[in-house]
Every structure is written in structure tokens, then in C-alpha cells.
């Protein structure tokens, strides 16, 4: 209980410097004590430390490091030991890795898949005991978030699932395990990271859009229950925003509505509130760290987190002192947090414990039992969601001598893994280690993370081959899709295993898997044996709802332990009995309208004027979201290309000649494309769109040689996909019309608005020169066969026709080629002058008032310097545009994450679209069903 005269506090705390140091928690980069962290403890009286993978090499080194930190604090006059905090969630989020002494256990969702809350207690207690032996006293866990939107949230398997009661059950078991190991626990991430809306910019933070009532019924349930148990010591307050009718908060951890009102007053939490890291870009750019740290304390936070940058940490200390001196923060407010922190320390540490961590002497005694617990947990977590064709175990479906193909994505190795350890040791730089702390907090950390190619899954392939005593084919796949090497291996193999890792957020994996599934179906129809097994090694939601994937297994992480358990399951050594946690979102039953509209073929002579009026009406209703429609004309949809077949459709008023709706379809090299579909804004919700869609799809699926269908056309480029501004509503509309819309490909148009003042980024040319990349410009079709072959192999067929059209326009367009020293083609891009013929078909290039230079369709396969090649091609394009006196450059049709290196060059996003591709079989079946219900 607090005393009015503060007589309950040691006189030392009357010194503001000492008190301020106790309400901050800081970290640093490096595996040894640096002068900076020593100074923070000795001179600024820092009372709490956060350790990350960047600090830790082994259990022994960790224990020694923590002991040294505590010794420094003791000698500096600290009355109580330092709080030493660590993320050790298991699964893919562990800061400390030591395969000799520290055990790896399944992720939170993996544990929930076993169906045993008692296992959650055992595992969390084992983990807490291990890191406690190394001197850590505050576990940053458990994760108490409810995955309300499970498929698309980056939190993924770190959370238990989407059922609030189940999350509570496993969360409470984890809290008990941590406490029984003698450590303090910290629930996270309040109020919820389970249903965030991501806005896209580096400086944006994700936001919660649910109302407080909605949060109370779902997201807040596990937090409320953990607080009510009386055993939760601390709460980690997220950095997300909140936007709902009753609350408009830019950063939760800086809001008294969130911390003091919701957490303390409404939920009754009396423990330590820890802020999200205030070094996050959004906060530092918007508010500055000094303002941020003052706001965090004012909001009710007791420990303010600053992860790594010493200059920022000093700025924060200065900010707190200025806040006190200016009267914004009172001494009583500081003492309130100080008391909470001191009380927490008294429950989880003492000097005798802090200065003498047992280290490996205890860990060596625990290791055997913990290893057995780990193996049992991983075996029990493996989940077979479907095995329609009884392909498992492999011995039951494959004969001796038949070849097995393993296709794996390129993923970052987990921070706590032997692969990462080897990579860091080979580079001699532990600071390259990356952590899971804050998905959006430190963007440079993500950009600098090491990539390992096939390394993550190479050992899995070897162990599977050994277990079967058969050869195994193994290669990786990328966002470039199915390449000839994949096709050749698929033709050889009798069984194909595709591994996905968060395919809902890495959409190329979903597209690749669906493509291979389509190939296998086609080859099976020809009498070949082509079994397909899909393994989700992270989020189980990749294909949980897609029943066209007949055999689907989930592991919930891709640690070595999980992949060994997967091997045992595949060869029949264990019988998997895991189940998917929580509740799967049920497919919504689509209510089809019974109203029919007469759909006619588009006739330019009759309908062009009505289409121009319709385009203007839609532009007025949707501007600025669809601003490109301002320069779209009826003629834009008429390509008159000998390689592209066109069929367009209208719903019209035969009495007035007005168009109520329009759909454009194209067919090129086996791909049917729905290039546009729009309806008069005053005539929506009366089934005009449905009628047009049915007629357009019927026309496409009847094309001879059609292999797949696509929403979005790059040429003409009015709608390269569903505009992202309308993606949720429009995507739902297409889903209800029979499309599988889960796995789009992002297509982005970008712009440099002022070419006159633009300059190339410093060092870009030198980087290109060091990489020995050269560029040239070609015009005309005579010397273009290598370019066309390159595009044919690496891009959609309509892009090939775009290139052909550009090459044919020798006066206004050309192709820039990137080549290596041997003359091999590395990449290509289209450039065009102002008012070129291509601008008639790509609306962002068309203008009556501006001179817009065009740079279109960069095509670059997966190469070591692909980002640099893209930047080089863009640079050549901008130079050409400037030489032709263009006032701005539009760079169109950038695929997926190609936008990042272009943003670094000064390009801004003009418009983004989601292109959807489906197999013909999938859409045809669903379209038949849709028609039957009409």
C-alpha cells in the first residue's frame, strides 16, 4: 500500500535519476557488455534489461552475460537486481538457442493442436525453468491474443487460436507454468494483435477497428481471465492504433483510455504495464521519442521499452526528466510505477539468485526429460486435416523405386535454430540475428534478415530420404511460379510434397500450389500417378478451407524438431492425432439473386457512346479511388490484336441506348481474362453484375484450349486486378460468384511526380557497376526473339502481347535489357514516350495536359541481385523519360514486393490491384453450381 509521504520507499528513490532509471527497460545489440549498456546501468540507474537473439549465443554465455549485468548493478548501488526479460515463446519465436542445453517446444497453436491444456503447463514450466537457469526472471509471455481474423494476421501460430475460451484455457495454464518455475509472466499484446488492419506504409501502424463491445466479447476475454486469476504479473501494451466510434487512438501504449481506463479501471489490472518499443518508426516520426516516453508514463505504463539504439535511449531519459521538470509528470506518478516495478522484482528475483544463476549445471540435469517432453509434444501436435485419397503413410501409397519430389519455399531461418547459428558464426556477426519482437516496429531489421535459400528444409529432405531408404528430389520455388525445372521434376515423380509457410500472406506459395495441383490433376487424367501432399509448416489456415487439396498436413512451425516429427508422420512411425485449434470460419452460403437481365454482345458502333457515359458516371461516383477511369475510353478495351481474342458484353436499355453494365473479356494463349466488369452506380444490387459475370464466364470457359481464368488484365491495363481500395467488398462479391479469391497477386502502378527535381539515389550506379550489370535499348521485332522468350517464360501471356505491341511501335516504344558480362539476359522493361500508342490501352499513361513517360512490366526472374536489376532497369527508364522531356514517370505493372526497391528510388504508389487466378476446373464447377441456384 502506498504512503502519502512515500515513507514506504527507500530514501534512494527520492533521487529522480534513480527513480527514472527504474521505469525504463532497455536493450542493446551485441553478445557482450558494451560501454553503453554499462553506462545505462551505472550512470542512469537502468533497472530492467530486455535480451534478444542478438545478445545470446548459448546457455553458458547467457548465464555469464546476465551474471555480469547483475554484478554491475550491484556494484553501482542498485537496491534490487535488474529485471531481465526475454521472448521465449517456443515454435519460431525463441531468443535463446542451444541445442545441447535448451529444448525446443511447439508453438502456442501447436500445443493447442494436441488438445491438452496440461501440456501447455508442462511445456511453459520447462521453458521458464531453463531460461531462469540462465538468469532471466521475466518471461515476455504468454501470448493471449485471439486470432479473430486468423488467415491474414502475422501473429499466426504464436497465438493459440480463434476461440476466446480456448485461448484463456491455454493462457492460464502457461501463466501457472511460468509462476511455478519461479519467474514473472507478462501477458501480451493488450488490447489485441489478433485482428489488425494493416495500412501498408512503413510509417503506419496497424489498427484495431473493432468496437469495445466486440473486443469485450472476444479479444479481451483471455486478458480478463488471466487478470482475474491473480497470477499475471505484467502486461505488454501494444503499439497498434484503435479506430472505432468510442475510441480514436494512434498508439495503444500511449493512451490513458487503453492503459488506465480499459486495463486498470475496467479489467482491474494492478501489475506492471510495459509499453511497446518506442523506437518504432511510426512513433518516432510522428511524435518523437521524448514526447512518446512522457505520453507512455502519463497513459499508465510502468516500464517504457527502448530496444536497442543508445542515442534514442538517452533521448528518452532526457524526455522523462523534462516531463517531470515541466510538470507534465508528477513525482507521485513516477512513484506509482516505481512501486509496481519494485513489487514485481521482489516476487521473481533476489541478489543471491541474480548473482548465482545455476546455468548449465542445472540444465544438464533437466535436458533428457525435457527432450522427451519436446518429442512427445511435437508428435502429438502434427495434424492431418484431410487425407481423402489415403496417401499417408507414404509406404501405403508409394511403391519401392518410385520417386518422391519435395518442393519448398524460400524462407528466413528461425532466429533460434542451428541454421541461423551456423550462418551467423560463418559471418562472425551476431548482430545480424533477427527477432520476432514487433512485426512492424523495426523495418530495417526485416529488410536485413538473412535468407538461406533451400537450407531451412534441406535437412528435412535428407531425413525423409533416410527414413524411406529411397532417393528424394528436392528443389525450391519462388514468386516466379512453376518453372521448367519444376515441370520436369513433377513429370518424374510419383508423389509430390509441397511445403507452404503462411501462404495467405506469401501469396505466391498459394498460387504455386494451386498450379501444381492443376498439373497433377491433368497428368492423372492421362493415366499417370501423381499424388499431391501439401504441408503447412506455419499457419494451418493456408489450405484449411480449400477441400480441393485432398491431403493436407499441418506442423505449426518449421523448427528442426517439427520437421523431424513430420518425417515420422509421413513414413508411418507415428500416427498423427492433432486437431486444428479453435473454430474454422464457415463458408458463407451465397444467396443468388433470381433476377435475370438480358446480356448482349458489345457493338462499338451502337454502344461506344453509352460506354463513355458509363465510364464517366463510375468515375464521378468512385473518385479518387478509381481516378484512372478519368482517362479510360471505350476504345481502351478494343485491342485489335491478332493474338488476343476479345468478347465484350453489355446490359443496356434498348429504348434509350443507355448502358447499365459492361464486361470485357480477353483470351490469350490458354488464359481467359475478365478484364473489367462494372455497373451504373444507380443500378447496383439488382443483379446486373451477376448477369454480366455469368455471361462473361460462359464465354470464357467455352474457349478451345483454355487452361485457367484470371481477374485482371495488364493489357489493356484498365484493371490489372481488383483495386485494393475496394478489395474487401469486391473480393467478397467475386468469392460469392464462384471464385477462389484467397491468394491474389499484388500488381502496383507507381509514379515519380516531378522528374525535373528527381535524382538517382546515391551509390546506385556504383552498385550496378560492381554487380557487372549492363543495359541496352532495342526497338522493333527483328532482334527481339530472346526478349520475347524471356517474357514468355517469366510472365503472364498478356504481358507477352504488351511487349510485342511495344516492340512494334518503333517510334515511341522500346525495351531496355539488363545483361551480365556473358551477355545473358537478366531482365527487361518496356519504356514509352509521351502519347505513345500504348497510352491508349494503359490509362495511367494517358493525359491531355501532362507529358507522362511510361515504364512498364519489369520482368526479372529470381536472381541474387534481382532488386538491383529492377532498380537498374527503372533507372534506365527514368533517364529515357527525362531525355524525352517528360514531366513525370509512371512505372506500371510491378509485381508483389518489387515495390520496395522502387520506393527506395523515390517512386510512390499510384494504384495497387489484386490479380486473381483460378484453375479452369475450380471455376467451372463453381460456376455450374451458381447457375443451378439462379
Give yes or no for residue 285 having a pLDDT over 80. no
- Distance in angstroms (rounded) separating the CA atoms of residues 573 and 375: 13
Residue 403: its pLDDT value, please?
95
Place of cell 534513480: 18
pLDDT band at residue 922, thresholds of 50, 70 and 90? low
DSSP single-letter state for residue 265:
I
Give yes or no for residue 141 having a pLDDT over 50. yes
- Distance in angstroms (rounded) separating the CA atoms of residues 791 and 538: 33
C-alpha cell at 659: 448502358
Place of cell 502519347: 835
Cβ burial of 3 (10 Å; 0-12, 13-18, 19+) is: exposed
Instruction: Report the mean per-residue pLDDT for the chain.
Output: 89
Give yes or no for residue 447 having a pLDDT over 50. no
How many of the other CB atoms lie within 10 Å of CB of 706? 15
Which of 267, 274, 160 is closest to 223 using CA atoms? 267
Specify the higher pLDDT residue, 223 or 724: 223
Find the radius of gyration of the CA atoms of the chain.
30
Give the residues across from 815 on adjacent strands.
778, 830
Residue 478: its pLDDT value, please?
92
Residue 182: its pLDDT value, please?
96
Q: How many helices (H) and strands (E) does the chain have?
A: 30, 33
pLDDT band at residue 691, thresholds of 50, 70 and 90? very high
Phi, psi (deg, nearest 5) at residue 677: -155, 120
Residue 809: its pLDDT value, please?
92
Q: Say whether 342 sits in a helix, a strand or coil.
A: helix
Asked if 355 and 74 count as a contact pair (C-beta separation under 8 A), the reply is yes
Give yes or no for residue 804 having a pLDDT over 70. yes
Give yes or no for residue 65 having a pLDDT over 90. yes
Give yes or no for residue 203 having a pLDDT over 70. no
DSSP assignment of 399-431 equals: -TT--EEEEEE--PPPSSSHHHHHHHHHHT-GG
Residue 281: its pLDDT value, please?
76
Residues contacting 741, CB < 8 A, separation 6+:
731, 732, 734, 735, 916
pLDDT in tens, 548-574: 999 999 999 999 999 999 999 999 999
Which of 443, 442, 450 is closest to 415 using CA atoms? 450
Place of cell 555469464: 64
C-alpha cell at 28: 542493446
Asked if 390 and 71 count as a contact pair (C-beta separation under 8 A), the reply is no
Task: Give the residue-averaged pLDDT of 806-833.
Answer: 94
- Distance in angstroms (rounded) separating the CA atoms of residues 303 and 49: 11
- Distance in angstroms (rounded) separating the CA atoms of residues 106 and 445: 25
C-alpha cell at 513: 500450389
The CA-atom distances, in angstroms, between 802 and each of 294, 381, 669 are 56, 49, 13
pLDDT in tens, 864-893: 889 999 999 999 999 999 999 999 999 999
- Distance in angstroms (rounded) separating the CA atoms of residues 153 and 660: 39
Task: Give the residue-averaged pLDDT of 159-182.
Answer: 93
- Distance in angstroms (rounded) separating the CA atoms of residues 486 and 811: 40
Give yes or no for residue 271 having a pLDDT over 80. yes
Residue 847: its pLDDT value, please?
86
Residues contacting 190, CB < 8 A, separation 6+:
144, 223, 235, 236, 237, 238, 252, 258, 263
pLDDT in tens, 765-785: 999 999 999 999 999 988 899
Residue 436: its pLDDT value, please?
47
Task: Give the residue-averaged pLDDT of 709-727.
Answer: 88
- Give the per-residue SS3 of 812-872: CEEEEEEECCCCCEEEEEEEECCCCHHHHCCHHHCCCCCCEEEEEEEECCCCCCHHHHHHH
- Distance in angstroms (rounded) separating the CA atoms of residues 46 and 304: 11
Residue 120: its pLDDT value, please?
95
C-alpha cell at 482: 512453376
Residue 424: its pLDDT value, please?
57
Cβ burial of 82 (10 Å; 0-12, 13-18, 19+) is: buried
The runs of H, that is alpha helices, within 469-559 are 484-492, 507-525
- Distance in angstroms (rounded) separating the CA atoms of residues 750 and 894: 8
pLDDT in tens, 846-858: 988 889 999 999 9
Residue 565: its pLDDT value, please?
97
pLDDT in tens, 356-386: 999 999 999 999 999 999 999 999 999 999 9
Which of 850, 816, 702, 827 is closest to 771 using CA atoms? 827
Which of 761, 872, 765 is closest to 816 using CA atoms? 872
Residue 925: its pLDDT value, please?
42
pLDDT in tens, 338-360: 999 999 999 999 999 999 999 99
The CA-atom distances, in angstroms, between 277 and each of 43, 440, 481 are 22, 11, 38
- Distance in angstroms (rounded) separating the CA atoms of residues 562 and 456: 12
C-alpha cell at 37: 549498456
Residue 442: its pLDDT value, please?
39
Specify the higher pLDDT residue, 244 or 326: 326
Q: Say whether 312 sits in a helix, a strand or coil.
A: helix
pLDDT in tens, 622-669: 656 677 888 899 999 999 889 999 999 999 998 888 999 999 999 999
Place of cell 486435416: 385
Give yes or no for residue 78 having a pLDDT over 60. yes
Task: Give the residue-averaged pLDDT of 713-725.
Answer: 90
- Distance in angstroms (rounded) separating the CA atoms of residues 195 and 209: 8
pLDDT band at residue 413, thresholds of 50, 70 and 90? confident
Mean pLDDT lowest among 86-100, 149-163, 322-336, 791-805: 149-163
Give yes or no for residue 202 having a pLDDT over 90. no
Which DSSP helix (H) or strand (E) runs through 552? strand 551-554
DSSP single-letter state for residue 629:
G
What share of the chain in percent tops pLDDT 90? Answer: 73
Residue 932: its pLDDT value, please?
22
Give the residues across from 890 on adjacent strands.
751, 854
Residue 792: its pLDDT value, please?
95
Give the residues across from 404 on adjacent strands.
472, 495
Task: Give the residue-averaged pLDDT of 518-546.
Answer: 94
Give the residues across from 908 on adjacent strands.
751
pLDDT band at residue 915, thresholds of 50, 70 and 90? very high
Residue 211: its pLDDT value, please?
87
Place of cell 527514472: 20
Amino acid at each position: 500500500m502506498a504512503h502519502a509521504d512515500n515513507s514506504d520507499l527507500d530514501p534512494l528513490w527520492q533521487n529522480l535519476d534513480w527513480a527514472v532509471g527504474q521505469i525504463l527497460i532497455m536493450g542493446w545489440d551485441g553478445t557482450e557488455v558494451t560501454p553503453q549498456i554499462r553506462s545505462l546501468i551505472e550512470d542512469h540507474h537502468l533497472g530492467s534489461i530486455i535480451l534478444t537473439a542478438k545478445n545470446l549465443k548459448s546457455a553458458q554465455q547467457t548465464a555469464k552475460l546476465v551474471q555480469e549485468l547483475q554484478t554491475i548493478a550491484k556494484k553501482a548501488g542498485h537496491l534490487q537486481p535488474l529485471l531481465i526479460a526475454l521472448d521465449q515463446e517456443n515454435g519460431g519465436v525463441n531468443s535463446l538457442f542451444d541445442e545441447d542445453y535448451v529444448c525446443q517446444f511447439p508453438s502456442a497453436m501447436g500445443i493447442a493442436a494436441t488438445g491438452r491444456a496440461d501440456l501447455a503447463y508442462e511445456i511453459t514450466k520447462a521453458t521458464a525453468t531453463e531460461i531462469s537457469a540462465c538468469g532471466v526472471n521475466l518471461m515476455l509471455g504468454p501470448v493471449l491474443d485471439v486470432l479473430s481474423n486468423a488467415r491474414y494476421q502475422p501473429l499466426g501460430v504464436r497465438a493459440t487460436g480463434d476461440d476466446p475460451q480456448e485461448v484463456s484455457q491455454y493462457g492460464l495454464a502457461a501463466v501457472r507454468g511460468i509462476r511455478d518455475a519461479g519467474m514473472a509472466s507478462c501477458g501480451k499484446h493488450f488490447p489485441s494483435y489478433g485482428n489488425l488492419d494493416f495500412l501498408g506504409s512503413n510509417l503506419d501502424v496497424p489498427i484495431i477497428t473493432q468496437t469495445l463491445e466486440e473486443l469485450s466479447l472476444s479479444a479481451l476475454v483471455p486478458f480478463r481471465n488471466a487478470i482475474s486469476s491473480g497470477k499475471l504479473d505484467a502486461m505488454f501494451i501494444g503499439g497498434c492504433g484503435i479506430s472505432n466510434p468510442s475510441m480514436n487512438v494512434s498508439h495503444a501504449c500511449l493512451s490513458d483510455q487503453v492503459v488506465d481506463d480499459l486495463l486498470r479501471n475496467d479489467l482491474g489490472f494492478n501489475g506492471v504495464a510495459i509499453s511497446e518499443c518506442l523506437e518504432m518508426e511510426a512513433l518516432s516520426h510522428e511524435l518523437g521519442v521524448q514526447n512518446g516516453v512522457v505520453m507512455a508514463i502519463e497513459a499508465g505504463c510502468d516500464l517504457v521499452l527502448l530496444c536497442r539504439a543508445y542515442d534514442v535511449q538517452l533521448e528518452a531519459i532526457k524526455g522523462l526528466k523534462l516531463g517531470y521538470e515541466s510538470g507534465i509528470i508528477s513525482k507521485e506518478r513516477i512513484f506509482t510505477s516505481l512501486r509496481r516495478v519494485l513489487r514485481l522484482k521482489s516476487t521473481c528475483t533476489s541478489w543471491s539468485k541474480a548473482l548465482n544463476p545455476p546455468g548449465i549445471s542445472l540444465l544438464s540435469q533437466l535436458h533428457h526429460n525435457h527432450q522427451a517432453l519436446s518429442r512427445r509434444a511435437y508428435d502429438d501436435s502434427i495434424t492431418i486435416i484431410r487425407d481423402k485419397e489415403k496417401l499417408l503413410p507414404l509406404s501405403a501409397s508409394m511403391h519401392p523405386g518410385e520417386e518422391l519430389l519435395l518442393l519448398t519455399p524460400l524462407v528466413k531461418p528461425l532466429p533460434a535454430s542451428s541454421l541461423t547459428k551456423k550462418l551467423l558464426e560463418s559471418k562472425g556477426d551476431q548482430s545480424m540475428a533477427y527477432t520476432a519482437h514487433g512485426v512492424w516496429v523495426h523495418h530495417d531489421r526485416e529488410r536485413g534478415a538473412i535468407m538461406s535459400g533451400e537450407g531451412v528444409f534441406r535437412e528435412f529432405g535428407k531425413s525423409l530420404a533416410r527414413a524411406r531408404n529411397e532417393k528424394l528430389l528436392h528443389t525450391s520455388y519462388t514468386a516466379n511460379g512453376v518453372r521448367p525445372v519444376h515441370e520436369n521434376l513433377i513429370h518424374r515423380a510419383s508423389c509430390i510434397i509441397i511445403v507452404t509457410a503462411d501462404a495467405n500472406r506469401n501469396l505466391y506459395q498459394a498460387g504455386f500450389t494451386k498450379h501444381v495441383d492443376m498439373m497433377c490433376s491433368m497428368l492423372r487424367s492421362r493415366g499417370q500417378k501423381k499424388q499431391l501432399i501439401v504441408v503447412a509448416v506455419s499457419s494451418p489456415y493456408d489450405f484449411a478451407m480449400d477441400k480441393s487439396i485432398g491431403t493436407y498436413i499441418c506442423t505449426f512451425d518449421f523448427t528442426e524438431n517439427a520437421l523431424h516429427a513430420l518425417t515420422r508422420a509421413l513414413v508411418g512411425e507415428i500416427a498423427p492425432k492433432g486437431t486444428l485449434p479453435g473454430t474454422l470460419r464457415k463458408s458463407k452460403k451465397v444467396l443468388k439473386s433470381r433476377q435475370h437481365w438480358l446480356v448482349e454482345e458489345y457493338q462499338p458502333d451502337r454502344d461506344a457512346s453509352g460506354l463513355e457515359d458509363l465510364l464517366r458516371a463510375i468515375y464521378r461516383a468512385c473518385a479518387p479511388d478509381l481516378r484512372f477511369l478519368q482517362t479510360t475510353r471505350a476504345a481502351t478495351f478494343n485491342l485489335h490484336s491478332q493474338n488476343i481474342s476479345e468478347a465484350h458484353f453489355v446490359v443496356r436499355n434498348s429504348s434509350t441506348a443507355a448502358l447499365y453494365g459492361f464486361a470485357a473479356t480477353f483470351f490469350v494463349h490458354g488464359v481467359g481474362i475478365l478484364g473489367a466488369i462494372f455497373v451504373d452506380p444507380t443500378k447496383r444490387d439488382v443483379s446486373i453484375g451477376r448477369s454480366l459475370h455469368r455471361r462473361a464466364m460462359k464465354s470464357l470457359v467455352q474457349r478451345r484450349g483454355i487452361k485457367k481464368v484470371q481477374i485482371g488484365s495488364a493489357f489493356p491495363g484498365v484493371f490489372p486486378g481488383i483495386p485494393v481500395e475496394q478489395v474487401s467488398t469486391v473480393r467478397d462479391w467475386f468469392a460469392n460468384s464462384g471464385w477462389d479469391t484467397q491468394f491474389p497477386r499484388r500488381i502496383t502502378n507507381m509514379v515519380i511526380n516531378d522528374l525535373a527535381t528527381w535524382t538517382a539515389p546515391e551509390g546506385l550506379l556504383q552498385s550496378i557497376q560492381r554487380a557487372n550489370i549492363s543495359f541496352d535499348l532495342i526497338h522493333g521485332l527483328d532482334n527481339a526473339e530472346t526478349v520475347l522468350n524471356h517474357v514468355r517464360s517469366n510472365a503472364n501471356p498478356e504481358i507477352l502481347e504488351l511487349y510485342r505491341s511495344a516492340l512494334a511501335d518503333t517510334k515511341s516504344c522500346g525495351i531496355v535489357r539488363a545483361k551480365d558480362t556473358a551477355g545473358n539476359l537478366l531482365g527487361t522493361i518496356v519504356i514509352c514516350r509521351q502519347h505513345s500508342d500504348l497510352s491508349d490501352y494503359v490509362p495511367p499513361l494517358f493525359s491531355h495536359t501532362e507529358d507522362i513517360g511510361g515504364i512498364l512490366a519489369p520482368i526479372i526472374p529470381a536472381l541474387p541481385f534481382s532488386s538491383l536489376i529492377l532498380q537498374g532497369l527503372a533507372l534506365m527508364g527514368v533517364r529515357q523519360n527525362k531525355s524525352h522531356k517528360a514531366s513525370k514517370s509512371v512505372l506500371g505493372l510491378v509485381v508483389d514486393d518489387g515495390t520496395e526497391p522502387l520506393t527506395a528510388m523515390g517512386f510512390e504508389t499510384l494504384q495497387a490491384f489484386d490479380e486473381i487466378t483460378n484453375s479452369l476446373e475450380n471455376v467451372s464447377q463453381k460456376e455450374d453450381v451458381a447457375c443451378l441456384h439462379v
